Amino acid sequence: MDGEAIKKYVRDNNVQFIRLQFADIFGVAKNVAITVNELEKALDTGIMFDGSSIQGFVRIEESDMFLKPDPQTFAELPWLKDYGIARIICDVYGPDGGPFSGDPRHILKRAVNESRSMGYDFHVGPECEFFLFQTDGSGYPTTATHDRASYFDLAPVDNGEAARMDMVMTLAEMGFTVEASHHESAPGQHEIDFKYSDALSAADNIVTFRLVVKVMAKKHGLHATFMPKPISGEFGSGMHTNMSLFAGGENAFYDGQAEYGLSREAMHFIGGLLTHAKGMTAITNPLVNSYKRFVPGYEAPVYISWSLSNRSPLIRVPVTRGVRTRLELRNPDPSCNPYLALAVMLTAGLDGIKRGVAPPPPVDGNIYDLTRAEMERLNIEPLPGHLDAAIEALLADVVVKSTLGSHITENYVKAKRIEWDEYTSHVHPWEVDKYIKVY
């Protein structure tokens, strides 16, 4: 839609309120609601809001900022249709009229523009996993699941099927093309995959997806969480990210005459991702809890390597070729800020193309079966093992820092160091159970 089409839709469909939605530097959705009487002003000049109230944005003396709606993101919220509520995703601007350097959507737009300047369109297909948990008598989430189902199980074993179907239908009403949905490996764990799209639309869709999943879960008396590893000893939730570059309408990753059917662009893109894997991890895996997922044996990648179809390394190249040739980066988790995560993935791959970075040979066997000596011989290194190490790796990576810009780098790192310090100084239940009786 353009602005005129939105105004006509609002009049014809009795829309009363518009939520102007944006994301903070951690990818958490925020919004300012306006009445339809303010819609024309919002579309023409934007709506002012207090940026100092958003963590990581600006100081109190620099608080006046503007939300400028992107008309193409207009959608009515199906669960609030009786109240006439729609949303538009916005870009954040400063009082000087320029894009705000701390707006994650702006960071991704800048990376996409770099890609286009090189002749490439970046396509992304995320696979988002989440858990459904029961709530207590006060409505607060527990870690008790409501099923004991496993991968691809059906009802009645899969008690989350009805909630998941409501999620899929709601997403469809909002314009999503859902390709698959199913129960995942752990009890109470689910996955919904939607069709690939351009990177900006994909990031917008991930933020919308997380909102829809939580709202529909609550409707069923459940709590949905994108926490990467909520239960010890069970599979964690990932956001495997399928990606490809297109040039002139053709998949730039495919070359039928090349080894593996992969073009030089594909191989160099893999090389770039591997080179910057450590530096990206604080963005793709942003929580202290994210690193509890990186445990051998639970299908989450631990080591920096790539493969053809093998699911144990960091990057997998699915068997399909031709127009569907793609790379799957397996370490991101669904708690990440999708705008920042896709931006650093893209610029890491583009850096590989610019510098002609050749990846090492693919690892075809189960990487978890390799000995330490075998991994050293193959030059296979692990991802950062905890958030503090990931922060240090980010600060050592010039490409990742350049992608994020100084504002987000400074504020993101500051917040994550506080998070790490809080974690390390807190006494956890495991410590009490382990030590209190013995010592």
pLDDT in tens, 316-370: 999 899 999 999 999 999 999 999 999 999 999 999 999 999 999 998 877 877 8
Q: Is 84 helix (H, G, I), strand (E, B) or coil?
A: coil
Three-class DSSP category at 276: coil
Q: Which residues of 348-366 are buried (b: 16+ CB within 10 A; e: fewer)?
A: bbbbbbeeebebeebbeee
Cα separation, 215 vs 201, in Å, equals: 21
pLDDT (0 to 100) of residue 60: 47
pLDDT of amino acid 367: 80
The one catalytic residue in 50, 64, 374, 421 is: 50
Amino acid at 34: I
The tokens describing 370, both together, are 């390799």
* Identity at 59, one-letter amino acid code: R
Q: 24, 127, 161, 265: which is the annotated catalytic residue?
A: 127
The two tokens of residue 161 are 């099927």
Yes or no: say if 246 and 123 are a contact pair by the CB < 8 Å rule: yes
Token couple for 262: 């992969």
What residues of the chain score a pLDDT lower than 50?
Answer: 60-61
> What are the extents of the domains in the chain?
3-100, 110-429
Spatial distance between the Cα atoms of 199 and 229, rounded to a whole number of angstroms: 26
110, 146, 264, 311: which is the annotated catalytic residue? 311
Please state, in angstroms and rounded to a whole number, the distance separating the CA atoms of residues 280 and 146.
35
161 catalytic residue (yes or no): no
Longest dimension (CA), the chain: 71
Residue of 11, 206, 21 whose CA lies nearest to 128: 206
- Which residue in 87, 105, 190, 240 is the catalytic one? 240
Unique residue bearing structure tokens 């989450």: 300
Q: Which of 103, 153, 161, 328 is catalytic?
A: 328
- Considering 161, 166, 184, 397, which one is annotated as catalytic? 184
Annotated catalytic residue within 210, 330, 351, 397: 330
The backbone region for 92, taken as left when phi is positive above 0, alpha when psi lies in -120 to 50, beta otherwise, is beta
- Rounded to a whole number of angstroms, the CA Rg of the chain reads 22
How far is residue 406's CA from residue 173's CA, in Å, rounded to a whole number? 39
- What is the CA 328 to chain-centroid distance, rounded? 13
The yes-or-no answer on residue 311 being catalytic is yes
- Candidates 3.90.550.10, 3.10.20.70, 3.40.50.2300, 2.40.160.50; correct CATH number of 3-100? 3.10.20.70
Q: Which residues, at least 6 apart from 420, have a Cβ–Cβ distance to it below 8 Å?
A: 288, 386, 387, 388, 391
Q: In the chain, what is the straight-line distance between the N-terminal and C-terminal CA atoms, in Å?
A: 66
Give the number of other Cβ atoms within 10 Å of residue 229's Cβ: 23
Q: Which residues contact 295 (CB under 8 A, 6 or more apart)?
A: 302
Identify the residue whose tokens are 């527990």. 142
Supply φ then ψ for residue 380, to 5 degrees. Answer: -95, 120
- Helix (H), strand (E) counts: the chain: 12, 19
> Which residue among 24, 191, 255, 351 is the active-site one?
191
User: Is 210 an active-site residue?
Assistant: no
Residue 61's pLDDT is 45
Q: How far apart are CA 308 and CA 363, in angstroms?
A: 8
179 is an active site residue? no
Q: Are 261 and 255 in contact (CB under 8 A)?
A: yes
Q: Is 419 a residue of the active site?
A: no
Tokens of 184: 């995942």
In this prediction, residue 334 carries a pLDDT of 96
The distance of Cα 304 from the centroid of its chain, to the nearest Å, equals: 20
The CATH class that applies to domain 110-429 reads alpha beta
For residue 192, give both structure tokens: 């919904």
Provide the 3-class DSSP secondary structure of residue 13: coil
Nearest to 357 by CA among 258, 269, 228: 269
Residue 90: φ, ψ to 5°: -120, 155
Which residues lie across from 180 on neighbouring strands? Answer: 193
Which single residue is written with the structure tokens 């002749």?
119
Tell me 178's DSSP state. E
> Which residues, in sequence order, are bridge partners of residue 85?
17
How many Å apart are CA 382 and CA 380, to the nearest integer? 7
Q: How confident is the model at residue 155, as a pLDDT?
A: 61
SS3 content of the chain, % helix, strand, coil (to 5): 40, 25, 35
